[in-house]
Amino acid sequence: MLNMTTFSSLPRPGWGLCLLALLVTLTTPAAATTVQHWETDNGLQVYFVPSPALPMVDIRLVFNAGSARDGDHPGLARLTNTLLRDGAGDWDADTIAQRLEEVGAQLSTSSERDMAILNLRTLTEPDWLETAVETLVTVVGQPTLTQRGLDRTRRQALVALQAQQQNPGAIARRTFFETVYAGHPYAHPPLGTEAGLAGITPAHLSTFHQTYYVARNGILALVGGLDRDQAEALAERIAAALPEGEPAPALPQVALPEAEQTIRVHFPSEQVHIFMGHPGMIRGDEDYFPLYVGNHRLGGGGFTSRLMDEVRTQRGLAYSVYSHFSPMAAAGPFLMGMQTQVTQADEAVAVMRQTLETFVASGLDEDELKAAQANIVGGFPLRTASNSGILDHVAMMGFYRLPLDYLDTFTDQVEALDPVTVNEAFARRVDPTRLVTVIVGGTD
């Protein structure tokens, strides 16, 4: 969350084609966000929201195949995911890219701790949709995973690891996860480690692919200009490219650290990057709503949060300061973060800590809760105002097996809360005496 952004003048990939707005009225009525759900013959869970206004469709496949499944080879999940589009069936990387780009389709892949994702955005004109989908099913079902592709992609990953080592924020994040999740599959970075990357062979990639890129270990989300029949046919086609397989086993539970811990990493930067937190909650946690809404007041609500007020508005200590819960398959972190000039590090840590302690001890009052509820409920339509917004929510719901009425009942759940419920949950789930604090930067 960055307030008051300055346009970056740095060249970025994709800058080459700066696009102008297209100026066409959309008269089709808004798509309801009622989610249609079914299972394909081989067990792929499908979530579909029709959105007929634009001649485009977003197709997202999510597998339980993130870095938590790396095992002894940190970096394996990410490399597998990246290499999917490097060669598949009879096609090399050039052919795959050309097939997609000549029909204006965009395929992206990504892989974090829980999820491995393939995302295809394409126009719905039948010939192009066909070309794009044929490419997708080949890429996900028959990747070639060659030694040469592996070697090149591994070298790129090593450069990316090096680049992280010149970024104090990236070092802080990595250190935070390594400490909070020591011994857990979440501990290492999704990008991997030098040692992990070094040991990976094409056989590892192909075993990983065969184990985790399977129908019963994934979900498919579809949002766009398709009708139900078209969506079902598309889903069957994609599912048919996947073996049935089985779901990945549950991840180990995460425990709160026994005691508080502070880690300082020296780094020649002007600012220190501070992360403070501990394991938080899983997706679907019964305390999700009180914790989410409470955190909105603490540091999730942008300009109006307490952390923003104490750290930025009152003291000018930082440009960006926030707190959030990241619910995951195993308990994802509760995390507070900021960056400040090296000489102000101690003051900043103290203010952040004090703000949390006060919040845990006294909680929020009726007015603060009302303000948070008003913002969350009033802003809810913005989340599903675009196909990409709907897709994000639906894919998340599907992957974590949240109830189908999750979106429909979200605002009711938020509005039903009272201060006691929120404060009791926060006091029970956030423990300032067990915080892990990571401070990267400065030389003494």
Partner 1 sequence: MKHQTPWISLLLVLLLLPGGLWATESSPVHEFMLDNGMKVLVLPDRRAPVVASMVWYRVGSGHEHGGITGISHALEHMMFKGTHAHPAGEFSRIIASLGGRENAFTSRDYTAYFQQLAAEHLETALKLEADRMQHLALPEDEFIQEMRVVREERRLRTEDNPNALTFEHFNAVAWLNSPYGIPIIGWMGDIDEYTVADLRDWYDRWYAPNNAILVVVGDVEPEAVHHLASTHFGPIPARDLPVVKSRTETPQRGERRITVRAPAQVPYLLMGYKVPVIMTAEEDWVPYALQVAAGVLNGGQSARFARELVRERELVASASAGYNPLSRLDNLFVLSATPSAGVDRAEVEAALTESLERLKDEPVSAAELERVKAQVVAREVYRRDSIMGQAMGLGMLESVGLSWQLGDEFAERIRAVTPEQVQAVARRYFDVDQRTVAWLDPLPIDPDNPPGYFDGHLR
- The stretch among 65-73, 136-144, 156-164, 413-421 that binds partner 1 (CB under 8 A) is 156-164
Nearer to partner 1, 254 or 351 (CB): 351
For the bound state, the minimum distance from the C-beta of residue 349 to partner 1, rounded and expressed in Å, comes to 15
Nearer to partner 1, 101 or 418 (CB): 101
**Binders in 258-297 for partner 1, by CB under 8 A:** 265-271
For the bound state, the minimum distance from the C-beta of residue 176 to partner 1, rounded and expressed in Å, comes to 17
**Which residues sit opposite 87 in a β-bridge?**
92
Nearer to partner 1, 105 or 422 (CB): 105
Q: Can you tell me whether residue 197 is helix, strand or coil?
A: helix
Q: Does 353 bind partner 1 (CB under 8 A)?
A: no
**Binders in 320-339 for partner 1, by CB under 8 A:** 320, 339
Q: Does 255 bind partner 1 (CB under 8 A)?
A: no
**Binders in 11-70 for partner 1, by CB under 8 A:** 11-13, 15-31, 51, 53-56
Q: Does 131 bind partner 1 (CB under 8 A)?
A: yes
DSSP state of 282: B
Query: How does DSSP assign 154-170, residue by residue?
Result: HHHHHHHHHHHTT-HHH
Look at the block and give the residue holding tokens 């794009």: 132
Q: Which residue in 301, 327, 363, 398 binds partner 1 (CB under 8 A)?
A: 301
Q: Does 387 bind partner 1 (CB under 8 A)?
A: yes
Residues in binding contact with partner 1, number by CB under 8 A = 109
Cβ atoms of residues 219 and 62 within 8 Å: yes
Q: Which residue in 262, 302, 409, 433 binds partner 1 (CB under 8 A)?
A: 302
Q: Which residue in 110, 112, 146, 160 binds partner 1 (CB under 8 A)?
A: 160
CA 240 to chain centre: 27
Q: Which residue in 34, 147, 166, 253 binds partner 1 (CB under 8 A)?
A: 166
Look at the block and give the residue holding tokens 């994609």: 238
Cβ atoms of residues 239 and 245 within 8 Å: no
Q: Which residue in 312, 324, 393, 429 binds partner 1 (CB under 8 A)?
A: 312
Binding marks (x or -) toward partner 1, 198..227, rule CB under 8 A? ------------------------------
- The stretch among 70-78, 139-147, 285-293, 318-326 that binds partner 1 (CB under 8 A) is 318-326
Number of Cβ atoms within 10 Å of the Cβ of 253: 10
Tokens of 376: 């969350």
For the bound state, the minimum distance from the C-beta of residue 411 to partner 1, rounded and expressed in Å, comes to 10
Angle between helices 228-240 and 126-141 (to 10 degrees): 30
Q: Positive or negative CA dihedral for 391, 397, 398, 403? A: negative
Q: Does 249 bind partner 1 (CB under 8 A)?
A: no
Q: Which residue in 35, 77, 88, 123 binds partner 1 (CB under 8 A)?
A: 123
Q: Does 350 bind partner 1 (CB under 8 A)?
A: no
Bridging pattern class, strands 261-265 and 436-440: parallel
Tokens of 209: 């692919």
CA dist 27 and 47 (Å) reads 25
Tokens of 113: 């701790």
Q: Can you tell me whether residue 46 is helix, strand or coil?
A: strand
Contacts by residues 260-264 (CB-CB < 8 Å, ≥ 24 positions apart): 260/433, 260/434, 260/435, 260/436, 260/437, 261/179, 261/435, 261/436, 261/437, 262/436, 262/437, 262/438, 262/439, 263/175, 263/179, 263/436, 263/437, 263/438, 263/439, 264/439, 264/440, 264/442
For the bound state, the minimum distance from the C-beta of residue 79 to partner 1, rounded and expressed in Å, comes to 14
Q: Does 256 bind partner 1 (CB under 8 A)?
A: no
- The stretch among 164-172, 230-238, 357-365, 420-428 that binds partner 1 (CB under 8 A) is 164-172
Nearer to partner 1, 84 or 214 (CB): 84
Beta-carbon contacts of residue 199 (< 8 Å; ≥ 6 apart): 72, 73
For the bound state, the minimum distance from the C-beta of residue 359 to partner 1, rounded and expressed in Å, comes to 18
- The stretch among 34-42, 206-214, 307-315, 429-437 that binds partner 1 (CB under 8 A) is 307-315
